[in-house]
Amino acid sequence: MMSFEHLRAMEGPLPVGIGLTAAIVAALEDEPLILTVAATGEDARAALPSGPFDPVRHRTFEIGLRAWVAEQTGVTLGYVEQLYTFGDRGRHARAGDRDPHVVSVGYLALTRIAEGASEIRGFRSWYEFFPWEDWRGGRPELMEKAILPGLSAWVEEAPDALSSSGLRRRDRVNLLFRPQGRGLDEENVLERYELLYEAGLVEEAWRDGREAALRRGVKPPPLGAPMQHDHRRILATAMGRLRAKMKYRPVIFELMPPAFTLTELQRTVEAIAGRHLHKQNFRRLVETSAAVEPTGEMSLKTGGRPAALFHFRRNVLQERPAPGLRVGIRG
């Protein structure tokens, strides 16, 4: 297979390469983590692990993904799910640039960090990149200080203009950010990011030459850490998929250790969902799901009274059509 370097040197139409990009999620101490790779060259922004698909070495995309992730990062992937194919013009190419246009197949992958691990190199909280998605401590200050004022200014530029979704700007802002003080639909991570991008409020919009960003004449203040290429869009897609998926499939247990307390489970679910859950309501949800059962052992790491340890019941996959944790939507 030709490398991207060989494709770059070819004449004629812009060459196209196929890449694989992984949003690899773990959870540790109540924090959802995403694996990033070290920046290369002059671009200091974080990136998701990514690399070319080699059909000679790998029979399928997923086999290729698992192989090079293990080689590149040393991380063994558990659950893997294809997200979407990201190939929009501009995700890599620029006018006059002969670099190959890379069409990337994005994946959501889950892994566990070993208990007592001394280092978690490359893992960063996904809320570094999406701070407005973390409502566990209440409404983020960033909403009032930067996001809503910026979106209001964008709406006032053309109050009746239709956005890319076909909705009026004001209706779209109200639907996705609900400035009246209500909470968010936690699954719409990608839609919120794309609205901020369209309004020119994230650094990627400035970098990509979006009209709304350039009209301001100044670089927007940072709303979360930017990422290389369209990797923050890929991460947003993965976050929304995982938040939705854990409501009807038991994927959350791919992030848990073999034995855990119900408090640990709740904190992990809260970390992924980005919001606080009522303790007794959550325990009723767990009981109704029939997804866990006690191990008969106790945890002494609680700092107080010993707590019962549980483990995931894999038989629930055959017993129930949708054995997830239906945490619901805040409204």
DSSP 8-state code for residue 26: E
Q: Which residues of 216-227 are buried (b: 16+ CB within 10 A; e: fewer)?
A: eeeebeebbbbb
The tokens of 84 are what?
């979407």
- What average pLDDT does range 123-129 have in this prediction? 96
What pLDDT does residue 148 have? 93
132-143 mean pLDDT: 93
Percentage of the chain lying above the pLDDT 90 cut: 44
How much is the pLDDT for 302?
Answer: 66
Is pLDDT at 98 greater than 70 in this prediction? Answer: no
Dmax (CA) of the chain: 71
Lowest mean pLDDT among 186-195, 293-302, 305-314: 293-302
Whole-number pLDDT of residue 102? 75
**Residues paired with 299 in a beta bridge:** 307
**80, 25 Cβ separation under 8 angstroms:** no
- Res 17: pLDDT: 77
Confidence check: pLDDT of 209 > 70: yes
- Single pTM value for the model: 0.87
> Do residues 227 and 128 lie in contact, with contact meaning Cβ atoms separated by under 8 Å?
no
Residue 250 has pLDDT above 70, yes or no: yes
Is pLDDT at 49 greater than 80 in this prediction? Answer: yes
What DSSP letter does each residue of 143-195 carry, written as one string?
Answer: IIIIIHHHHHHHHHHSTT-B-TTSSBHHHHHHHHH-TTS----TT-HHHHHHH
pLDDT of residue 1: 47
**Mean pLDDT across the chain:** 84
Position 133 pLDDT exceeds 90: yes
Q: Determine the Cα–Cα distance for residues 164 and 169; give it in Å rounded to an integer.
A: 9
Query: What's the rounded Cα separation, in Å, for the pair 187 and 236?
Result: 10
Check whether 65 has a pLDDT greater than 70.
yes
Among 34-48, 172-186, 233-247, top mean pLDDT goes to 233-247
Q: What is the C-alpha end-to-end distance of the chain, expressed in Å?
A: 51
Alpha helix ranges (H) inside the chain:
4-8, 61-73, 141-142, 148-157, 169-177, 189-198, 203-207, 211-216, 231-245, 262-273, 279-289, 316-319
pLDDT at residue 330, as a whole number:
47
Helix axes of 169-177 and 189-198: crossing angle, nearest 10 degrees: 140
- The mean pLDDT of 81-101, rounded to a whole number, is 66
The mean pLDDT of 25-35, rounded to a whole number, is: 92
Closest CA to 109 of 174, 147, 65, 53: 65
- The answer, yes or no, to whether residue 294 has pLDDT greater than 90, is yes
User: Per-residue confidence at 181, pLDDT binned at 50, 70, 90?
Assistant: low
Surface-to-core class of residue 111, CB atoms within 10 Å of its CB (0-12 exposed, 13-18 middle, 19+ buried): buried
Q: Identify the weakest region by mean pLDDT among 98-102, 123-127, 169-173.
A: 98-102
pLDDT of amino acid 325: 82
Average pLDDT estimate for 42-56:
83
- The mean per-residue pLDDT over the stretch 194-223 comes to 82
- Cβ distance 89 to 14 under 8 Å? no
User: pLDDT digits over 8-17, tens only?
Assistant: 554 566 677 7
Write down the number of H helices and E strands in the chain.
12, 8
Checking if the pLDDT of 109 tops 80, the result is yes
Segment 3-28 shows an average pLDDT of 72
Six-digit token pair at 111? 């892994």
Angstrom distance (rounded) from CA 297 to CA 301:
12
